[in-house]
Copies of this chain bind each other. A is one copy, B any other.
Amino acid sequence: MGKQYRDQEYLVKLGKRIIEIREAKNITQEKLQELTGLDTRQIGRIERAETNVSISSVKLIADNLKISVPELLDFSKLADK
């Protein structure tokens, strides 16, 4: 197993899910970045599945989207765009 294990398919689904919820709540990417205080490009990189995001950052994003982590990570309703 390489230095850090990475599940790109899962990261793509996570990115789509964050965009889906963020847009449903009319929150811009800039606003979410501001709310979370994460590094300016980090939200974009997470949404584009360019980074193997930590569970702490996933929790921070869920908190600021005002949903639970399990709800954020429930991809069952994710439309296959």
- A residues 60-78 near B (Cβ < 8 Å) are 60, 69-71, 73-74
Distance in Å from the Cβ of A34 to the closest Cβ of chain B?
A: 11
Q: Find chain B residues with CB under 8 A from A70 CB.
A: 69-71, 73-74
Copy count, this protein chain: 2
Identity of the chain B residue whose Cβ is nearest the Cβ of A53 in the assembled complex: B55
Q: How many residues of A contact B (CB 8 A)?
A: 26
Q: What are some 11 contacts across the A-B interface (CB < 8 A)?
A: A1-B38, A1-B39, A4-B56, A5-B56, A5-B57, A5-B60, A52-B54, A54-B54, A54-B55, A70-B71, A70-B74
Task: Give me 8 other A-B pairs in contact (C-beta within 8 A), A6-B56, A10-B59, A70-B74 excluded.
Answer: A4-B57, A5-B38, A6-B54, A7-B59, A10-B56, A52-B54, A52-B55, A69-B73
